[in-house]
Structure 1
Amino acid sequence: MLRPRPTPTREVVNLDGLWRFAIEGSAGPCPWAGPLDTPLEAAVPASYNDLFTDAAIRDHVGWVWYQRLVRVPRGWAGERVVLRLDAATHQGRVYVDDELVAEHQGGYTPFEADITRLVRPGGEFRLTIGVGNELTNTTIPPGTITVSQDGRRQQKYLHDFYNYAGLARSVWLYSVPAVHIDDITVVTSLDGTTGTVDYTVETSAPATVRVRVLDATGTEVAASSGANGTLRIDHVTPWQPGAAYLYDLVVDIVDREAVVDTYTQPFGVRTVEVRGQEFLINGEPFYFTGFGKHEDTPVRGKGHDDAYLVHDFQLMKWVGANSFRTSHYPYAEEVLDFADRHGIVVIDETAAVGLNLAVEGGLAGRPHRPTFSGETFNDDTRTAHAEAIRELIARDKNHPSVVMWCLANEPSSHEEGAREYFEPLVGLARKLDPTRPVSYAAVMFATHHSDRIMDLFDVVCLNRYYGWYVATGDLITAEAFLEGELRGWAEKFDKPILVSEYGADALPGLHSVWDTPWTEEYQLAYLAANHRAFDRAEAVVGEHVWNFADFQTSNGIHRVDGNRKGVFTRDRRPKSAAHALRARWTRLDNRKPRAAD
């Protein structure tokens, strides 16, 4: 699925703004059958939960409804008219006037509908979008719904971030010719100073295809014809971390000499490889520095915001970060486009967070249900998970910034049934994209002794909190535990190790002369202890602090207005830890630090 872009043969109308808004039950049995009877308006893109003061809206479990009138440009006569949603969290239904035109399950990937037969150029139609936030044992991410004694439906979930919902990303109307380009796939490699570009073009009907490669100055450097083939770029400029260089693949459908449709796909020429205990980009060892992040800001929730996008990337550059993980779901496409242009490396993750009932048992202090079973996470769950992988790779396959797929965060990989669940998913990811390594982020319960699936993956990604959840306040013990485990994973699997999460909560302005958890000083000391262990473990190829910024979570007595592990506050002010990371990371230059540094 190509992202909507204006071209000489395509036009795009952005439908962001204020929409009529109502929750289920307040707008009649068929909210799409006429104008919404509501005084409320909601911003798009934004999560709806924090927009209003009514707790019944914030805590609503079920469907909500967005509606607006849309006018089709009168110049679109003879064109196909397509409606696209960048995301609807977690389920979407789309109605043009009274007719259902699209349904989608999964809250972070796009879907669209050809609505040509239902609209007319110059005419107006009523667009109604239903968004459901319900999570069950067969959704990705999973959850359960309970009913309180007074009849209120309540959503329970296993991920430690607030379950924001709504239209958090843009909605578009766009036109394409009757015969048009449906999809483009670009795979690159390097042969000395020559770049090779394998391309595949899918069209809506048999057509004559012509392709050209333009460099950053707009100069044509390669050309070919046919719907698939290989292009060679002499004296290529590779895409590199911190030094992004993008080419344009211009694809035309032609009829004789007339261009029927044209689309420009940016791409970078680079290679990714795992060799022994090294992670290589363009054949050179790469050391990840950066964060797990969240799409999370005040008021907007998970709503995409270009101002925060720019500022967050500026802060990552300031602190010396070269990478981040899209924890714990695919981020907005604008984020990956920005990373492509600015040379930031991305680990791209599905929304499979919470596939772990051992966490549920640990928090409750009682034996837990088996994570993988017919009654818990089962074949239907895996089917939804597989679709999430398909949609992630289909959307993000052409981004040079994306160097690895992360299939899940903290699944119960040490439990019986984990291998039967994950082995087909790893095979699917490799089939869909054999060019990128595949990983998952392992929970602390899964050690190198007990984990059942790590041999299926390319990189050992570990979420480890020695000194916070284990050996709390005892950093001498924590450092020894961590180093011992890192060496255990390296000896057993002989693969690169990325510490994909490590962190400690800190309340800004809370200080102590002792190692007191929740203070800024303890967060500093915690990070330093972890870094000493990383630097002594040869197989470690990167460190992603949890988290870039404080973020909102569900209600819980173990959280103080959300998760406070950010090195920046939720409104992006640096804690002391941010300055310490800057001192460490700005001198590394993508290199592995040495223990003596």
Structure 2
Amino acid sequence: MLAPQLTPTRTVLPLDGMWRFRVDWNNDGIDAGWQNSRLDTRHEMAVPASVNDVFADEAVRNHVGCYFYQRDVQIPMEWGDRQIVVRFGSVTHHAVVFAGDTEITRFKGGYMPFEADLTAHATLGGTVRLTVVVDNRLDYTCIPPGRINILGDGRREQEYLHDFYNYSGIHRSVHLISRPRTHVSDVTITTDVTAGDAGATGIVTWDITAEGEPAEVTITIIDQRTDEPVATGSGHAGSATITDVNLWTPGVGGLYDLEIRLVDQDGTLIDLYRQHFGVRTVEVAHNQFLINGRPFYFTGFGMHEDHETVGKGHVDAHVLQDMELLSWIGANSLRTSHYPYSEQWMDYCDRQGIVVIDETPAVGLNLGVAGGILGGTEVPATFGPDTLNDQTQAQHKLEIERLIARDKNRPSVVLWSIANEPESQTDASREYFAPLAQAARDADPTRPVGFVNVMLAPYDRDKITDLFDVIMLNRYYGWYFQTGDLANAEREMRAEVEGWITTHPGKPIIFTEFGADTVAGLHSIYHQPWTEDFQVAYHRMNSRVFDAYDEIIGEQMWNFADFQTKVGIVRVDGNKKGAFTRDRRPKAVARYLRDRWRKLDAAAYGRREPKQN
């Protein structure tokens, strides 16, 4: 799905701000017809933002089910004979949208954009009553999955299987869009590079889908550095070359625009859309991850869209602050753990040269972990007719396809992660994941595909790693295992790395999580868990292991910043493994990482020599 864009043929109006708001306590508001009139409420809710931390009411925060949002949308007089749509950046986890009394769309999947056509319900110069019913309930057919428990007093409790807070709401911007009825609806851009004596030549291939009446397609490729055209072409499918191409480079960026024009037989403009892209290559070969043919070493974090008050709601200033801290600390990459991030976030990575491992919302697909570390009520088999079943797999496949469809043109995205810490040590897990790995390759043959392996499925138990291109490991030696005993933790960690190298020769390894919970300001002269001193010692130990093996081609600490989780005895006011606190103050480990990563110079492709201390 194309992002909203203001062009000579398209108009975009923001619908962010305060919406009328009402909690559907009995989850029967649709049946009662609340959408058919102005909401009977005095409450308002900010869009975009999560509901949960805004209201001074625990019942609102803990409600399991539906929230009603509503506002009146003014339709401009000049939008005659055009398609009018309302576009949602994300609604977590389900949405039902009404225009007046009429349902116009439903969407399941809380992190992807979707549109609803308002054309038939819009009167030029008039208003449309827009009602959005947001439902936070998760079951085993959802990605991520969950289940509803009914307590003894009749209250509903959402049991979710992921270790971050189950924020709900309209989390990203809402836009009202006007576009020609004949318009560009999708574009796929792929690139390649050939070397020559006069410099590299970029090969740009496009495949364009348009809706409406037949129209001719003309293409202009524009260098964003100069706003000057560098190549032209035509046709719904075609290719062009860029001489002396400016390659998209980690730590630098380097973007072009593919300007697409739909024109009639007389050459009159019908629609115009610009899709940015970068020219670069990605390849996994000989234990290395190659960007533009050069070995790349990942430094950075698994992160979360998580801030005080707004929860997972998108705020440009929060994104910019996090990106500035990434630059300060010397990180060159991130993983969108454990769901797709906002389009604005991804745009910034494209512009600034930040390398991204792009992840689906498939987290919690491991009931053994959920019933143990996360404190679930029972531990049934992960895959089965009553748990994660064919419906789950179908939704998972849809989430993979949606993610790739949204982010396929992004040069910052170099690797798809189709799941985080799923069960992968059973025959049932292979049956589940084999078709999903293939679905990712079918949707995008140009990028490597991986999944993130959990500590309970090491090299001698895992049954699906051969389906993927890269080994991504979440490991907590010295924290969840060998707690505080860093000497033994290091021995165990090295032994496992050597096991992966032996059983999967040729596959590079990225440590996508490693960390230790740390209370900011807590210190000790001993290597005592929870102190800032232990966190630094813990990461020094991990660094020694990373530096000892050429097969390890990346380190992404867990986590960038402390973040909110479910309430329970496992977490005290959230997960505290951050290099920064939740309000973005650095812990001691942040300066350790800043020193280490800046010396690695990984953003300039530098592969460092192993260190002995």
TM over 0.5: yes
2:516 matches 1:501: no
Structure 2: tracts of 5 or more residues without a match: none
2:362 matches 1:352: yes
**Deviation by residue 1:42-93 (Cα, 9 ceiling, x = unmatched):** 1000000001011111000001010001101111111110111111100011
Secondary structure of 1:586 counterpart: helix
The 5-angstrom pairing of residues 14-163 of structure 1 reads: 14-25=14-25, 29-163=32-166
2:595 match: 583
Deviates more, 1:505-514 or 1:583-592: 583-592
2:392 match: 381
- Contact 2:544–2:611 (8 Å) recurs in 1: no
2:218 matches 1:210: yes
Secondary structure of 1:513 counterpart: coil
2:514 matches 1:514: no
2:409 matches 1:398: yes
Tell me how far 1:483 sits from its aligned partner: 1.1
- Contact 2:89–2:172 (8 Å) recurs in 1: yes
1:230 match: 239
For 1:177, which of 176, 180, 186 is the aligned residue? Answer: 180
The 5-angstrom pairing of residues 274-423 of structure 1 reads: 274-363=284-373, 368-423=379-434
| Identity percentage of aligned residues | 51
- Contact 2:159–2:376 (8 Å) recurs in 1: no
Tell me how far 1:367 sits from its aligned partner: 8.2
2:610 matches 1:595: yes
What is the alpha-carbon root mean square deviation over aligned residues? Answer: 1.2
**Deviation by residue 1:229-274 (Cα, 9 ceiling, x = unmatched):** 1110000000010011100100000112211100011111011100
2:581 match: 569
- Contact 1:483–1:537 (8 Å) recurs in 2: no
Tell me how far 1:360 sits from its aligned partner: 3.0
Secondary structure of 1:455 counterpart: helix
What amino acid sits opposite 1:559 in the alignment?
R
2:450 match: 439
2:564 match: 552
Secondary structure of 1:75 counterpart: coil
| Structure 1 Cα separation of the partners of residues 376 and 41 of structure 2 | 45
- Contact 1:223–1:231 (8 Å) recurs in 2: yes
For 1:197, which of 204, 213, 223 is the aligned residue? Answer: 204
| Structure 1 Cα separation of the partners of residues 308 and 22 of structure 2 | 22
What amino acid sits opposite 2:523 in the alignment?
H
- Contact 2:364–2:370 (8 Å) recurs in 1: no
2:539 match: 527
| Structure 1 Cα separation of the partners of residues 464 and 369 of structure 2 | 18
- Contact 2:336–2:356 (8 Å) recurs in 1: yes
**Deviation by residue 1:82-106 (Cα, 9 ceiling, x = unmatched):** 1111111000110001100010000
**Deviation by residue 1:385-418 (Cα, 9 ceiling, x = unmatched):** 0110111011111111010100000000012300
| Structure 1 Cα separation of the partners of residues 522 and 277 of structure 2 | 46
What amino acid sits opposite 2:18 in the alignment?
L
Deviates more, 1:138-147 or 1:198-207: 198-207
2:259 matches 1:250: yes
Tell me how far 1:366 sits from its aligned partner: 9.8
**Deviation by residue 1:494-553 (Cα, 9 ceiling, x = unmatched):** 200000000001001100011100000000000000010011022000000000000000
What amino acid sits opposite 1:472 in the alignment?
T
Tell me how far 1:117 sits from its aligned partner: 1.0
- Contact 1:372–1:416 (8 Å) recurs in 2: no
2:487 match: 476
Secondary structure of 1:417 counterpart: helix
| Structure 2 Cα separation of the partners of residues 479 and 207 of structure 1 | 63
What amino acid sits opposite 2:107 in the alignment?
H
- Contact 1:405–1:436 (8 Å) recurs in 2: yes
**Deviation by residue 1:189-219 (Cα, 9 ceiling, x = unmatched):** 1111100011011000322100010112111
CA separation of 1:32 and 1:151: change in aligned 2, threshold 3 A: same
Secondary structure of 1:76 counterpart: coil
Q: How many residues align?
A: 597
- Contact 2:70–2:130 (8 Å) recurs in 1: yes
Tell me how far 1:596 sits from its aligned partner: 2.2
For 1:457, which of 468, 472, 478 is the aligned residue? Answer: 468
| Structure 2 Cα separation of the partners of residues 454 and 411 of structure 1 | 12
- Contact 1:85–1:112 (8 Å) recurs in 2: yes
2:442 matches 1:427: no
What amino acid sits opposite 2:611 in the alignment?
A
| Structure 1 Cα separation of the partners of residues 74 and 501 of structure 2 | 59
So what's the TM-score if we normalise by structure 1?
A: 0.99
- Contact 1:88–1:108 (8 Å) recurs in 2: yes
For 2:229, which of 197, 202, 220 is the aligned residue? Answer: 220
Secondary structure of 1:300 counterpart: coil
Tell me how far 1:594 sits from its aligned partner: 2.9
- Contact 1:13–1:172 (8 Å) recurs in 2: yes
**Deviation by residue 1:421-445 (Cα, 9 ceiling, x = unmatched):** 0000011100000001001010000
| Structure 1 Cα separation of the partners of residues 601 and 215 of structure 2 | 47
Secondary structure of 1:362 counterpart: coil
The 5-angstrom pairing of residues 257-268 of structure 1 reads: 257-268=267-278
Tell me how far 1:365 sits from its aligned partner: 9.9
| Structure 2 Cα separation of the partners of residues 349 and 458 of structure 1 | 15
**Deviation by residue 1:281-340 (Cα, 9 ceiling, x = unmatched):** 000000000000000000000000100111100000000000000000000000000000
So what's the TM-score if we normalise by structure 2?
A: 0.96
